[in-house]
């Protein structure tokens, strides 16, 4: 009897058996190449993890800067090799903790950062010249980068020693996540300003992490995740070129951010296809000559959307499979979700277990003993080719709509993701898509679990800190600096130098964002039906 055929998350047929005939006309020299060489299908470094493992990051941040600082110190003590900062929603939206719109959200999904004083507390006792820090912040990403630089200066760390990444990917906010502030075109101008500023001032900093993760969390399948992410990447490259930069001046600092699902084979193929497509786009469309401009370097986070509140300990298994997919796919850094994140913010024990998952893969398994373990696998190579073709079709559709920004303004990517998410939910509800512990293998009664809770008094304490800051600072200096920022935003000057002066004068995140709102306005999304 013929085995039942399955379809991948991207809708591609998965054959029961793969063999030499599958790749009969397949040229390994052009499709694969060597590790660390164009088109980077097999990884961006010749030795990959045989030289050293990926950077192990743990995404963390909650409540006040003091509480988050304590968690960062714990993670470093447990062996984390890179910090990853989560900010609360008011910070992500450019509002101070005492703003009416911030009420009830302060410190809830990340740390509240209102000024340089909070940033100093957040990194107190953490030598910024020795750690790599990733900050998941988008619309106000430039502000948080400058606050980080100011803290580094206070520690005596030169800007050219700072290493890390700001996400700074506002285009995906319009598509999937919603923490945008300004319309797309001034947002792209701000992104280009960050590229120029960092090349001159903070040369080791990754200026953007172009994110497919959040689109995947909203429901995008693997092909959509890659296609929409790379299309956004093309838009950022075009914006930088239009601002007068040379592609090899900024492209080596571009980085990406993807999800890792439990469908291990397709995820490995997805990462390989993404590297190959981006290398060709950069070389053939934009004429990038520097090999580092052609490399798709990426961070991976295991799939939060696949975590379940039912039988949460099963998430330990899911995260292990997802992390293995990221490693076999050649990620440069990795965050593993904690098993209790579907319930609340991770407890210290859960965060430690998530980190230990990476450490077991790196130091107890043999996946780091050889470069690209799946190279030449019939199924993986066939799936890589299939995904590549599907991704290119979606990217061509975006180009037909006028490019990523024009498609966003028409609501196209958002609509496509919503359709996929609806289909997947219907399959789960019908039991066609198995979710262990949710629609199959349930327990009659769930075991009790005590989650981490954020103190609601945090908002009041942050409000008090803001009042004290405003009373103590030089108000006239703040007003002058904000005025200079408005004038730069109205013209064509880079806005980051006057922004840094305003933040150094202890202007708040909300005040700086309000100054830009006055000039650039705010964004209202387009819905497609």
- Are 387 and 222 within 8 A, CB to CB? yes
The strand ranges marked E within 388-435 are none
Exposure string of 283-305, with b = 16+ CB inside 10 Å and e = fewer, is beebebeebebbbbbbbbbbbbe
For 343-378, the pLDDT digits (tens) are 988 888 999 999 999 999 999 999 999 999 999 999
For residues 529 and 215, the model is more confident at 215
What is the distance between the alpha carbons of residues 174 and 398, in angstroms, rounded to a whole number?
15
Q: What is the pLDDT of residue 4?
A: 60
What is the distance between the alpha carbons of residues 181 and 222, in angstroms, rounded to a whole number?
27
Q: What is the pLDDT of residue 329?
A: 98
Helix axis angle, 141-154 to 509-520, nearest 10°:
140
What is the distance between the alpha carbons of residues 24 and 336, in angstroms, rounded to a whole number?
38
DSSP-assigned beta bridge partners for residue 83: 58, 133
For 391-427, the pLDDT digits (tens) are 999 999 999 999 999 999 999 999 999 999 999 999 9
Measured between alpha carbons, how far is residue 56 from residues 76, 109, 334 in Å? 10, 21, 5
Residue indicated by tokens 């497509």? 277
Interval 117-145 mean pLDDT: 96
Q: Where are the chain's structural domains?
A: 28-429
DSSP-assigned beta bridge partners for residue 111: 63, 87
What is the distance between the alpha carbons of residues 13 and 16, in angstroms, rounded to a whole number?
10
Interval 16-36 mean pLDDT: 87
Mean pLDDT, the chain, rounded, equals 95
Interval 135-163 mean pLDDT: 97
Q: Write down the CATH superfamily of domain 28-429.
A: Methylmalonyl-CoA mutase (3.20.20.240)
Q: Give the 3-state secondary structure percentages of the chain, helix then strand then coil, rounded to 5.
A: 50, 10, 40
- Are 24 and 48 within 8 A, CB to CB? no
Residue 188 tokens read as 């792209």
On the CB side of 428, CA atoms within 13 Å amount to 14
On the CB side of 463, CA atoms within 13 Å amount to 13
For 174-232, the pLDDT digits (tens) are 999 999 999 999 999 999 999 999 999 999 999 999 999 999 999 999 999 999 999 99
- Are 267 and 326 within 8 A, CB to CB? yes
Residue 390 tokens read as 């599907």
Residue indicated by tokens 């997919």? 325
pLDDT surpasses 70 at 529: no
Q: What is the pLDDT of residue 28?
A: 82
What is the distance between the alpha carbons of residues 324 and 340, in angstroms, rounded to a whole number?
20
What is the distance between the alpha carbons of residues 327 and 364, in angstroms, rounded to a whole number?
14
Residue indicated by tokens 């954020």? 454
For 494-508, the pLDDT digits (tens) are 999 999 999 999 999
For 430-446, the pLDDT digits (tens) are 999 999 999 999 999 88
What is the distance between the alpha carbons of residues 245 and 291, in angstroms, rounded to a whole number?
17
What is the distance between the alpha carbons of residues 152 and 41, in angstroms, rounded to a whole number?
37
Alpha-helix residue ranges (DSSP H) falling in 335-377: 348-363
pLDDT surpasses 70 at 528: no
Exposure string of 362-377, with b = 16+ CB inside 10 Å and e = fewer, is beeeeebeebbbbbeb
DSSP-assigned beta bridge partners for residue 425: none
Q: Can you say how many angstroms the Cα of residue 24 is from the centroid of all Cα atoms in its chain? A: 37
Nearest to 11 by CA among 213, 222, 270: 222
What is the distance between the alpha carbons of residues 213 and 303, in angstroms, rounded to a whole number?
8
Interval 82-86 mean pLDDT: 90
- Are 182 and 520 within 8 A, CB to CB? yes
Res. 88 pLDDT band, cuts 50 70 90:
very high
What is the distance between the alpha carbons of residues 169 and 157, in angstroms, rounded to a whole number?
26
Residues 23, 392, 283: CA angle, nearest 5 degrees: 90
- Are 184 and 174 within 8 A, CB to CB? yes
Q: What is the DSSP string of 457-514?
A: THHHHHHHHHHHHHHHS-HHHHHHHHHHHHHHHHSSS-SHHHHHHHHHTT--HHHHHH
Q: What is the DSSP string of 158-180?
A: -GGG-EEEE----HHIIIII---
For 478-527, the pLDDT digits (tens) are 999 999 999 999 999 999 999 999 999 999 999 999 999 999 999 988 66
Cβ contacts of 360 within 8 Å, gap of 6 or more: none
Interval 243-261 mean pLDDT: 96
- Are 23 and 378 within 8 A, CB to CB? yes
Cβ contacts of 31 within 8 Å, gap of 6 or more: 41, 276, 381, 385
pLDDT surpasses 70 at 1: no
Q: What is the pLDDT of residue 23?
A: 86
Strands 132-136 and 82-86: parallel
What is the distance between the alpha carbons of residues 472 and 115, in angstroms, rounded to a whole number?
13
């Amino acid at each position: 009897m013929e085995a039942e055929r399955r379809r991948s998350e991207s809708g591609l047929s998965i054959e029961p058996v793969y063999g030499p005939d599958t790749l009969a006309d397949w040229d390994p020299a052009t499709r694969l190449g060597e590790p660390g060489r164009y088109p980077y299908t097999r990884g961006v470094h010749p030795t990959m993890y045989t030289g050293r493992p990926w950077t192990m990051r743990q995404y963390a941040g909650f409540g006040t800067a003091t509480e988050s600082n304590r968690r960062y110190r714990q993670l470093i003590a447990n062996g984390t090799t890179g910090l990853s900062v989560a900010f609360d929603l008011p910070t992500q939206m450019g509002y101070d903790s005492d703003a009416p719109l911030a009420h009830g959200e302060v410190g809830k999904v990340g740390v509240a950062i209102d000024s340089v004083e909070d940033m100093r507390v957040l990194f107190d006792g953490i030598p910024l010249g020795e750690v790599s820090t990733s900050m998941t912040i988008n619309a106000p990403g430039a502000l948080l980068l400058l606050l980080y630089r100011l803290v580094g200066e206070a520690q005596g760390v030169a800007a050219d020693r700072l290493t890390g990444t700001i996400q700074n990917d506002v285009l995906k906010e319009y598509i999937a996540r919603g923490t945008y502030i300004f319309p797309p075109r001034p947002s792209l101008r701000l992104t280009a300003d960050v590229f120029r500023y960092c090349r001159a001032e903070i040369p080791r900093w990754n200026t953007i992490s172009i994110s497919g993760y959040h689109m995947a969390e909203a429901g995008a399948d693997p092909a959509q995740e890659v296609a929409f992410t790379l299309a956004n990447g093309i838009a950022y490259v075009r914006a930088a070129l239009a601002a007068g930069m040379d592609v090899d001046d900024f492209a080596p600092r571009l980085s990406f951010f993807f999800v890792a699902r439990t469908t291990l084979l397709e995820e490995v193929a997805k990462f390989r296809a993404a590297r190959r497509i981006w290398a060709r786009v950069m070389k053939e469309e934009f004429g990038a000559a520097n090999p580092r401009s052609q490399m798709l370097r990426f961070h991976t986070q295991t799939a939060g959307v696949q975590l379940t509140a039912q039988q949460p300990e099963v998430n330990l298994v899911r995260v292990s499979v997802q992390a293995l997919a990221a490693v076999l796919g050649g990620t440069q850094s990795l965050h593993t979700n904690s098993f209790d994140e579907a319930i609340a913010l991770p407890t210290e024990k859960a965060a430690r277990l998530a980190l230990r998952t990476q450490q077991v893969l790196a130091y107890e398994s043999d996946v780091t003993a050889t470069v690209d373990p799946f190279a030449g696998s019939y199924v993986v190579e066939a799936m890589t080719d299939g995904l590549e073709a599907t991704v290119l079709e979606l990217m061509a559709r975006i180009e037909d709509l006028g490019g990523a920004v024009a498609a966003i303004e028409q609501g196209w990517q958002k609509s496509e993701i919503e359709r996929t998410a609806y289909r997947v939910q219907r399959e789960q509800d019908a039991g066609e898509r198995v979710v262990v512990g949710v629609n199959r293998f349930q327990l009659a009664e769930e075991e009790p679990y005590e989650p981490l809770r954020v103190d609601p008094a945090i908002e009041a304490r942050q409000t008090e800190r803001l009042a004290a800051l405003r009373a103590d600072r030089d108000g006239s200096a703040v007003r002058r600096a904000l005025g200079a920022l408005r004038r730069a935003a109205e013209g064509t000057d880079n806005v980051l130098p006057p922004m840094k002066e305003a933040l150094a004068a202890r202007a708040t995140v909300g005040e700086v964002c309000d100054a830009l709102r006055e000039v650039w306005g705010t964004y209202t999304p387009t819905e497609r039906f």
